[in-house]
Structure 1
Amino acid sequence: MNLAVRFASATASTDLFTFQQREYLITVDYYSNYFEIDRCENTRAATVVKKLKAQFARHGIPDVVISDNGPQFTAEEFEKFAREWNFKHQTSSPGYPHSNGKAENAVKTAKQLMEKAFRGKTDPYLALLDLTNMPTQGVGSSPAQRLFNRRTNTTMPVRRALLEPEVPSEIPRKLQNEKERQRKYYNRQARDLPNLQVGDTVRCQPLTPAIKYWKQGTVVAEHGKRSYEVQTEDGGRYRRNRRHLRHTREMAPNMDVMEEENNSPGPATTTTATATTTAAAETAVPVQHTAGQQMTTRSGRAVKPPAHLKDYVRE
């Protein structure tokens, strides 16, 4: 998910994670990489909404909020929150956490920080404070400076003049340069897959490793860059990232037939199938091949008998 963010709090990414059997909500600002951690009593939508309201009351309402497709974020209560607070809610592709990479990276950093504090029996929030004041490599400013235009006070001695607000004009350019450097490093051996169009036939990679069968389906909608909605041969609809879809030249499954089969009662379908099979068996006539008749395969290809059988009559 590639978003060009030019100022702080324009886009925020959020995710839930578990540490030491406790639930936490992380919220990260796309522009500054500044993130905050909230302890959650549970993972219900109401709890997530309450925590995010407190976040937005402190830092302002973002234009876009990005999350995964967890039940907390797809619940009607969260959608109501998005409407009332006037922000766009954008979800990542199921089974592909990299499309919400900003929050995933923040979760990884937060877990490492909390694990280190837990083992050293130190305050994790002081560690978080120090982290947000640490300059980013290649940028020369800290997440706190990019969000607040100033350093925040820590337990470390610092000259008071360094805590004065300052608007660094070079930050956007430096951030873009750092992103380009990371993109080149990541894309050294990567290549873009061709875009899919609505109506294309695809095979869907199962998200469960134990399942090996790739279901056939048809692309029915596109959700942002490299994210597609697919209707499979069993009638189900799934949202998948491009890397989980393989374009195929197979004939698309008949969606109308699938919907009729899915909507019809089970016993009636079984009876119809049995009757059809019986009728086909009764009307089937064995095909006899005479000596002068050319045998062919089902595809129409001629079958040449072995040379040592040329003197025999085939029945």
Structure 2
Amino acid sequence: MPKDTTPTPESTFASMGVAKPPMGTYGVPKQLVSDNSPQFVSEEFETFLLVNGIRHLKSAPYHPATNGLAERFLQSFKAALKSAKGGRSDVKQKLPNFLLAYRNAEHSTTGISPAIMFIGRQLRTRLDCIKPDLQEKVIKHQEVQMKQPFKEPRKFRDGDKVCVRDYRSKEQKWIAGIIHKKTGTLSYEIKVGPDMIWRRHIDQVISSGLQPDLQTPPEIVQPIDILNLLPSQHHCDELLYGADHYTTDSIEFYFSMVLLAIFIYLPLLDPEGSLSRLHTTINTSSFL
């Protein structure tokens, strides 16, 4: 006697009840793949899929390999249940453990786990308790920083009198000015002279009570020119021969100027005194 394959309302509604909870959690799928069981080909189930806009794909009759992914998963699932500890009554406990391990395992084809592909992250397991949690470490550091007193950075307003760093000369490091405007969180424009506005970081600005002179440009400290400090020809003759005797064209003037330059500026040019021994070897009378 042939077996009756007419679907019963109970089996059809049971299949619909199994399909609804995942839809409520993850949404309505685009397609559903099943075999040709009576409850999947019934009119009620087809209407259910049509109303929800789900495409129904059925495998070839008596050919389970058509839906190879589902059949391969069933083989892995059955093998895991057999190898797990416990009797048959522990199936409800074995199933969540298997699913957790399976969804966290790296797939051989995609190279990533099903959990990452589905929800974008790895599922937390007991192994995570022995691994450092970077996110939790960052949160703890942020909580500690929030408990510390907040030091508000220095601020200046337009028109405040300040001193700014001057990099034009090594002698004069600071120059007075006023805040022109704020250009960033820690950047300012400072007016230091007529049509002279410098851009400085707040670390290069200090408060000052000095009144800046904005009418004249700030001067740069120039280096000393030794040639300008040499004695004149008239002054050398006056020192050597007296005020009433001048030998402006004599050769003695040039020797006297060289000697004076050596003895006056030798300590400046040779502060360590390595050349100062020349004082003891040079006989000045032989030149005059």
Both structures adopt the same fold (TM-score exceeding 0.5):
no
Report the TM-score when normalising by structure 1. 0.35
Report the TM-score when normalising by structure 2. 0.38
Higher strand proportion: 1
Q: Taking CA–CA contacts closer than 8 Å with sequence separation of 6 or more, which of the two structures ends up with the larger relative contact order?
A: 1
